[in-house]
Amino acid sequence: MDDIIIRRMEIEDAEAVTDILINSWQTSYRGIVSNEYLDNMDKGILADRRRKQYRDYIVAVSEGRIVGYCWYVNDNSFTKDVLEIDSEVIALYVDPKLKRQGLGRRLFSYVIDDLKKQGRKNMIIWCLKENYPSRKFYEKMGGKIIGEHTTNIGYKDYEEVGFLYKL
């Protein structure tokens, strides 16, 4: 995947980013998150959310098509109970057909570099506890598990593990 361009998301990218989100969840979280939730994800609602938050996203583009994205913030607004963090990756997804080709690594590295430039020191990413392939990726990228918490998806609670990265 040498032809990848990583750039800031534009509002017009919301539909394509949402497609990757839905495809990724339905592929990666099947057997972890309830099938009812996965099978009824509302593309319109999810795309509207992406349009509202697009300034905090980067996208990976190949041959004019969005093939991955990452949503991150340079604060701890999503994880207020872990005081030592000053930045967070909220979502990192790649087109399921393109996994294991280095695209996730490139997006992740871009985020780390950007946060370092902003003077950030400690980043966290939360991962569903039962999502072992993603946990392996976050460990390979240098993350250390620092805790667990519960998240609610579709009115059901799921356990997550938090990976800390010293930037």
The domains of the chain are located at: 5-119
pLDDT at residue 28, rounded to an integer: 94
Looking at domain 5-119, its CATH superfamily turns out to be Gcn5-related N-acetyltransferase (GNAT) (3.40.630.30)
Per-residue pLDDT reduced to its tens digit, 86-102: 999 999 999 988 888 88
pLDDT at residue 79, rounded to an integer: 73
Residue by residue, pLDDT tens for the chain (167 residues) are 568 999 999 999 999 999 999 999 999 999 999 999 999 999 999 999 999 998 999 999 999 999 999 999 988 776 777 778 999 999 999 998 888 888 999 999 999 999 999 999 999 999 999 999 999 999 999 999 999 999 999 999 999 999 999 99
Tell me the three-class secondary structure of 77-99, residue by residue.
CCCCCCCCCCEEEEEEEECHHHC
pLDDT at residue 1, rounded to an integer: 59
pLDDT at residue 100, rounded to an integer: 86
Tell me the three-class secondary structure of the chain, residue by residue.
CCCCEEEECCHHHHHHHHHHHHHHHHHHCECCECHHHHHCCCHHHHHHHHHHHHHHEEEEEECCEEEEEEEEECCCCCCCCCCCCCEEEEEEEECHHHCCCCHHHHHHHHHHHHHHHCCCCEEEEEEECCCHHHHHHHHHCCCEEEEEEEEEECCEEEEEEEEEEEC
pLDDT at residue 26, rounded to an integer: 97
- Global pTM exceeds 0.85: yes
